[in-house]
């Protein structure tokens, strides 16, 4: 696929610019970043939405969007400029305070908006699997100039020969998690449709300050290094990795649910969500596919949103920043692959249930005692993608493609009720994993 860049613009908040000079100092300040913000690498998390024009798309009379203005760049940039008034930290740049701690300099320098065209149709991209081809649908980033040299939000609208469009989005992980990133995208989309944002961002992150002095109450194994491979487990660290996107149909998901016997080792299956059941299945299948020794410790990382779990004080609606913690159920491989799936689900439930206010506050304090939270071992785990809406007036996207590597990322439900899994594994393990995960058994 060849992608030609037609134009690159910098979009600034609407209340910041008169000509080329900022006229408002209201939003010019330094934004403190929490330990959860510092925990992540200095990278942009990348997602691409795909849109296909349809004759049945409904256009509201109050919306600027129309069939004739399909993904019009001027309309999108105007709406983005308006949305950035409330979400102005996206228009800033990373910086460091006098002690060297990372922060955001809210200076109104703007976000990148690129217009491009591709020489293929959407159908030629197949299932939109993450890879080098899809990276062409996002602006590239040169990180060599230092942390203050690049925008925190990168956008690219690419038109395809069939009339379809992709919207590539790169949000810097030190600034926001997926939930907060999507709040901007939806505010932008609402503005483009002529509607106000649903939720205003709450920008003050000091509610996540560590206690003084820090008082971690628990050992936080979620931030420990990964278990060392023991004798008998193949060392695949040098092996090339493969990537696959697998789809689980409603029938396959129902079949997995039926394996959870409510009378076997567990009081109730009502508390197990489809995501938890599928996660347990994936964890077991990965462990078996990798040929782990029976006594090899294995650990699952599950993303847990702290917005509803921190209660003292509670997190305000619209909190803007990183609020993701990690639940880490553990098991030795031999027990994991041989036990009933309900046992695995109980491991997952215990790990999630312990993520209460006391435990999460302890985690924040634990990270405060770490010289550089970004150096803490982080393993991307199974999570649910929040990128599901993004309707700019021309209809919802076909699906999102997440372009970040991890062990496994569960994407949100598709329109037909199916779930998609994007997973990276060693090449030889991937072949076996794909056999196991869809064989109808419980691994």
Q: Measure the CA angle with vertex 272, ends 267 and 274; round to 5°.
A: 150
- For residue 98 the two structure tokens come to 């006098």
Q: Which residues, 6 or more positions from 364, have their beta carbon under 8 angstroms from its beta carbon?
A: 34, 35, 36, 208, 209, 210
Residue 337 has which token pair?
A: 């692959």
Any long-range contacts for 72-80 (C-beta under 8 Å, 24+ apart)? Answer: 73/7, 73/113, 73/115, 73/157, 75/192, 76/113, 76/157, 76/188, 76/192, 76/392, 77/9, 77/11, 77/113, 79/188, 79/189, 79/191, 79/192, 79/392, 80/11, 80/111, 80/113, 80/155, 80/188, 80/191
3-state percent helix, strand, coil for the chain, nearest multiple of 5: 30, 20, 50
Q: What angle do CA 271, 340, 334 make, to 5 degrees?
A: 125
Burial 186-213 (b: 16+ CB within 10 A, else e): bbbbbbbbeeebeeebebebeebebeee
Helical segments of 157-210, H only:
178-192
Which DSSP string corresponds to 197-254? -SS--B---GGGPPPSS----S--GGGSPPPPPPTTS---TTSPEEEEEEEE-HHHHH
Please tell me which residue in 173, 281, 301, 326 is annotated as part of the active site. Answer: 173
Whole-angstrom Cα distance, residue 193 to residue 71?
A: 11
DSSP letters for 18-78:
ETTEE---TT-EEEE--HHHHTS-S-EEEEEEEE---TT----TT-S--STTTT-HHHHHH
Strand partners, 10: 112
Segment (H or E) for 365: helix 357-368
| From 29, 391, 428, 438, the catalytic residue | 391
* Residue 55 is among the residues annotated as catalytic for this protein: no
295 is an active site residue: no
Distance CA(273)–CA(237), nearest Å, equals: 33
Query: Among all chains, which residue has been given the structure tokens 């509610």?
Result: 207
Q: Please give the positions annotated as active site.
A: 173, 391
């Amino acid at each position: 696929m060849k992608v030609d860049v037609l134009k690159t613009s910098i979009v600034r908040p609407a209340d910041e610019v008169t000509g080329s000079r900022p006229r408002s100092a209201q939003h010019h300040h330094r934004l403190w970043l929490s330990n959860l913000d510092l925990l992540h690498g200095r990278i942009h998390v990348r997602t691409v939405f795909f849109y296909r024009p349809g004759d049945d798309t409904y256009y509201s009379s109050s919306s600027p969007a129309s069939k004739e203005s399909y993904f019009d760049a001027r309309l999108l940039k105007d709406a983005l400029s308006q949305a950035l008034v409330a979400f102005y930290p996206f228009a800033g740049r990373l910086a460091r305070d006098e002690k060297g701690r990372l922060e955001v300099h809210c200076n109104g320098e703007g976000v990148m908006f690129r217009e491009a065209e591709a020489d293929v149709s959407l159908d030629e991209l197949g299932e939109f699997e993450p890879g080098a081809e899809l990276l062409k649908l996002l602006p590239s980033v040169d990180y060599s100039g230092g942390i203050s040299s690049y925008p925190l939000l990168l956008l690219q609208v690419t038109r395809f020969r069939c009339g379809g469009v992709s919207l590539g989005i790169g949000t810097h992980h030190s600034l926001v998690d997926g939930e907060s990133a999507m709040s901007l995208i939806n505010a932008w989309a609402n503005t483009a449709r002529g509607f106000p944002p649903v939720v205003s961002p709450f920008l003050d992150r000091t509610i996540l300050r560590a206690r003084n002095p820090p008082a971690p109450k628990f050992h936080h194994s979620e931030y420990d290094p990964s278990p060392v491979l023991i004798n008998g487990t193949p060392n695949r660290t040098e092996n090339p990795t493969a990537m696959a996107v697998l789809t689980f149909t409603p029938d396959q998901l129902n079949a997995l649910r039926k394996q959870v016997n409510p009378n076997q080792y567990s009081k109730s299956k009502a508390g197990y969500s489809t995501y938890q059941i599928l996660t347990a299945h994936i964890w077991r299948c990965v462990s078996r596919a990798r040929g782990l020794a029976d006594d090899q410790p294995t650990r699952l990382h599950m993303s847990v949103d702290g917005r509803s779990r921190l209660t003292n004080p509670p997190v305000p609606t619209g909190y803007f920043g990183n609020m993701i913690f990690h639940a880490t159920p553990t098991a030795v491989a031999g027990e994991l692959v041989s036990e009933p799936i309900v046992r695995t689900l109980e491991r997952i439930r215990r790990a999630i249930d312990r993520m209460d206010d006391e435990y999460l506050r302890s985690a924040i304090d634990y990270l405060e005692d770490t010289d550089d939270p970004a150096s803490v071992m982080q393993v991307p785990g199974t999570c649910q993608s929040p990128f599901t809406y993004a309707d700019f007036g021309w209809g919802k996207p076909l699906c999102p493609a997440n372009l970040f590597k991890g062990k496994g990322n569960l994407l949100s439900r598709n329109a037909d009720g199916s779930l998609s899994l994007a997973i990276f594994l060693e090449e030889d393990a991937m072949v076996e994993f794909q056999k196991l995960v869809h064989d109808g058994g419980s691994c």
